[in-house]
Structure 1
Amino acid sequence: MRSEWLSHQSHNSIATSRNSDPTWKTPPAGFMKLNFDAGWAGEQGTGFGLVVRDDKGEFQVAATHYEEYRMDPLLAEAVSFRWALNMAVSWELDHLNFSSDCQQLVKAFQSPNDFPSLKHILLDCQQLVDSLNNFSLLFEYRQTNRVAHALAAESFLYQDCVWWGDPPLDILLHLAADFSN
C-alpha cells in the first residue's frame, strides 16, 4: 500500500513540474475556494485537511480529521472529499470551488460507475452537492494544495479541529507561500 501512495504522489509531482504556473489561484468574485487533501498521518493513520479562503485569498476556516487506520490512497481522497462536503454543508457555505490534487478523484466523481469500489461514497458526495449552491470540483496541482496537504499530514496532532478566522500557526508559512510568486 505504501508503494501505491508514493506512486500517487510521484504522479502528482511529475504533473506539477509540467505546469507553467504552479501557484494557488483565488476563486472568482463572490466565491470561496475549499482545498482538501488526504494523506497518511502519524504512525498508522489517515488524515484529512481542508482550508477555505475567499476571493481575495483571505483565510476563512481550516479543519482536520484523523482516522486511526491507513486507507488506500484513492479511497482516502474520496472519503476526504465526502468529509469536506459534510463540513461545508454543516457550516452552510455556498458558492464554493472545491479543489483536489487527486485527478483520479475528479474523474471518479464525474463518472462514479467507472469506479465501483468508490461508487457508494461518490453517490453520498453527489447528494451532499445537491444541498450546495454554485458548486464545482477542480483538479489542482500538488503545489497549489500545500495548505490542505500540511493539515492532513498533521491531523494526528489536531484530531477533529476547526479554526475560524485565525489559522493554526503550523500552516502560516504555507498560506504565505501561496502568494509569494
Structure 2
Amino acid sequence: MLLLLHKLEVLESIERPVDEHDTRSWNLDSIRHLISPRVEVAICSTPIGSSAGVDRVIWPLNRHGQYSVKSGYHFSRNLTNQSNVGRPSASRMVDKKIWKVIWHSKTLPKIRHFLWRAVRNSVATKANLASRRIPCSSICPICEVNSETVEHALLTCPWVVGVWFGSPLGYVGDRQQVTSLDRWILSLISLPGSSKNEVNRVVTMMSFIMWSIWKARCKAIFEHKPPDPGMVIQDARNSWTDFLSSIPRVGAINSDAEGDSEVVRSTIWQVPPAPYLKLNVDAAWFSSSGHTGIGIIIRDHQGEFKSGKICRTTSISAVDAEARAVIEGLSFAANQGYSHICVESDSKPLINCCLGKITKGAWELYPSLGRIQELKSNFTSVRWEWVPREANAVADAAAAFAIRGMGTEVWVDRPPSSLVHVLSRDGLPCPP
C-alpha cells in the first residue's frame, strides 16, 4: 500500500507541466534518475487529458471502459482457467484459422454465431440432446438411419448431400472423409491456388447453405415439412444474393452530424470541395519501442500541395499513434491559418470516434479525443473522412520518412523530392 501511495505521489508530481503554461508534456526532471529509460518512454507515451475534464472510473478490461456482465464473466473465467493450468484435458483444439474464418466471414451475424456453435458442437442435434441425458433418440429424424451429429445434420445426411452437390460449390459428400466440421471447413478453404477473394466467396456461400440446411431440418422436425434440396439451394442462393446487394457500395456517405461525414472512397485520392483544404494524416508506429513517425500533407480543392510536416513522438498503441497524428495535423493547420479543413485518415476506429461515436472507441483514446475536440474550435468547419490506405499513400510515405529520420521538418508550397513521385501517383498536380 505504501508503494502504491508513493507511485501516486510521483505521478501527481510529474503530471504538472514544465512551466506555468500548459505544454501538455510530462515533467520528469525530478525523477529521471530513479527510473529506467524504458519506464521513461512508457510515461511519455501516456497522453495527458484536459484539465477541464472530469475524472471518472474506468473498467480496464473492456474496450469501451464500461463494466459489463460479459467482461466480468470472462475475467472470472480466465482466473479459473489460470488456476487449472497443467491439468489434463480431453477436449480437441480447433485450429485458430477456423475462428478467424468464421468471425471475419462476409455473412449475417446470426449465421456467424450459428457456425461458431456448430464448430463447438453446441447445436441442438438429436445426438447432442441425448448425450446431455434428454430423453430422446439420437437417430436422425429425417433419414432414420444414422446418429444425428452436427456433421451428419449439415454434411452427410442423404438429402443434405444432394444440396451440396447441386449448389454452386458442387461438393460431393463422402461420409468416410468427414471427421469433424472444423476440419471439413479447413479443407474447403485450403484448396491450392485459391485467392483470398475466392476463399471469401466460398465461405459466404457455405455459410448461407448451412443456414438454409439447418432451417429446412428444423421445419422437417417441428412443422413436418419434408426437406426439398432444390428449394434449400434456391433459398440459400436468394439469401446470399440479397445480402451481398445490401452491402454499401464504394462511395457511400454516412452523415452523423452537421458538417461531419464519413466517406468510403475508392483507392484513388480525391480532391476536397471548395473552400475546403484536405488534411491527410498517418502514423508509423513501432510496438517494441513506442516510437511514432507522423506524416501530414495539406492540399487544396485543385489538388495542389499547400504545406506538409513530419515529426516524431511516442505512443502506447497503433490507434493512439493515429490520434496523435490527427492532433499534430489540426495544430499544424490551425497555425497555417486555414479555416475549412477536411481531415482524412485510414484509421476507421479513430474517424468513427471523431464523428461522435466516442462510446464505441477505446477508453485509452479519451484524452486524445478531448484534445481533438478542443482543436476543432480553431476552424470554421471540420469534416472527417475515412479512406483505404491506398488513398492515403502520401501521408503514409511521409510517416515512414518521419520514423526513419530525426527531428521535425516543415514544408511550405513545395514538398521534398522524395514525395514528388508519390504525389504524382495520385494523378494530380504537384511541384516539379
Q: Alignment partner for residue 47 of structure 1, among 293, 299, 314?
A: 293
Q: By how many angstroms is 1:70 displaced?
A: 5.5
The equivalent of 1:124 in structure 2 is 371
Q: By how many angstroms is 1:21 displaced?
A: 3.4
Work out whether 1:34 is the aligned partner of 2:279.
Answer: yes
Does the 8 Å CA contact 1:49/1:63 hold for their aligned counterparts?
yes
Structure 1 stretches (4+) deviating beyond 4 angstroms?
none
Does the 8 Å CA contact 2:339/2:378 hold for their aligned counterparts?
no
Question: Could you give the per-residue CA deviations for residues 79-119 of structure 1, whole angstroms, max 9, x where no partner exists?
Answer: 11111111111221111111000001111222223332111
Q: Alignment partner for residue 83 of structure 1, among 322, 328, 342?
A: 328
Does the 8 Å CA contact 2:309/2:408 hold for their aligned counterparts?
yes
Q: By how many angstroms is 1:177 displaced?
A: 0.2
Work out whether 1:72 is the aligned partner of 2:320.
Answer: no
Give the 3-state SS of the residue equivalent to 1:155 in structure 2. Answer: helix
CA distance in 2, matches of 1:123, 1:85: 13
Q: By how many angstroms is 1:164 displaced?
A: 0.3
CA distance in 2, matches of 1:166, 1:28: 22
Q: What TM-score does the superposition give when structure 2 sets the normalisation length? A: 0.36
CA distance in 1, matches of 2:389, 2:397: 11
CA distance in 1, matches of 2:339, 2:345: 18
Does the 8 Å CA contact 1:46/1:71 hold for their aligned counterparts?
no
The equivalent of 1:168 in structure 2 is 416
* RMSD (Å) for aligned C-alpha atoms: 2.2
The equivalent of 1:113 in structure 2 is 359
CA distance in 2, matches of 1:38, 1:71: 13
Q: By how many angstroms is 1:158 displaced?
A: 5.1
- Sequence identity percentage: 28
Give the 3-state SS of the residue equivalent to 1:29 in structure 2. Answer: coil
Change (3 A) 1:176 1:127: same
The equivalent of 2:339 in structure 1 is 94
Does the 8 Å CA contact 1:64/1:158 hold for their aligned counterparts?
no
CA distance in 2, matches of 1:147, 1:71: 24
Aligned residues: 163
Question: Could you give the per-residue CA deviations for residues 125-154 of structure 1, whole angstroms, max 9, x where no partner exists?
Answer: 011101211211110111110110011111
Give the 3-state SS of the residue equivalent to 2:280 in structure 1. Answer: strand
CA distance in 2, matches of 1:63, 1:105: 21
Change (3 A) 1:28 1:46: same
Does the 8 Å CA contact 2:278/2:342 hold for their aligned counterparts?
yes
Higher Rg of the two aligned structures: 2
The equivalent of 1:142 in structure 2 is 389
Change (3 A) 1:30 1:158: farther
Does the 8 Å CA contact 1:40/1:153 hold for their aligned counterparts?
no
Q: Unaligned 5+ residue runs, structure 1?
A: 1-10
CA distance in 2, matches of 1:174, 1:159: 22
Does the 8 Å CA contact 2:281/2:325 hold for their aligned counterparts?
yes
Does the 8 Å CA contact 1:62/1:164 hold for their aligned counterparts?
yes
CA distance in 2, matches of 1:164, 1:171: 13
Does the 8 Å CA contact 1:47/1:152 hold for their aligned counterparts?
yes
Q: Which moved more, 1:56-65 or 1:104-113?
A: 104-113
Q: Alignment partner for residue 425 of structure 2, among 165, 170, 177?
A: 177
Question: Could you give the per-residue CA deviations for residues 44-77 of structure 1, whole angstroms, max 9, x where no partner exists?
Answer: 521000100011000000100112x454101101
Larger % of strand: which?
A: 1
Q: What TM-score does the superposition give when structure 1 sets the normalisation length? A: 0.82
The equivalent of 1:155 in structure 2 is 402
CA distance in 1, matches of 2:316, 2:416: 26
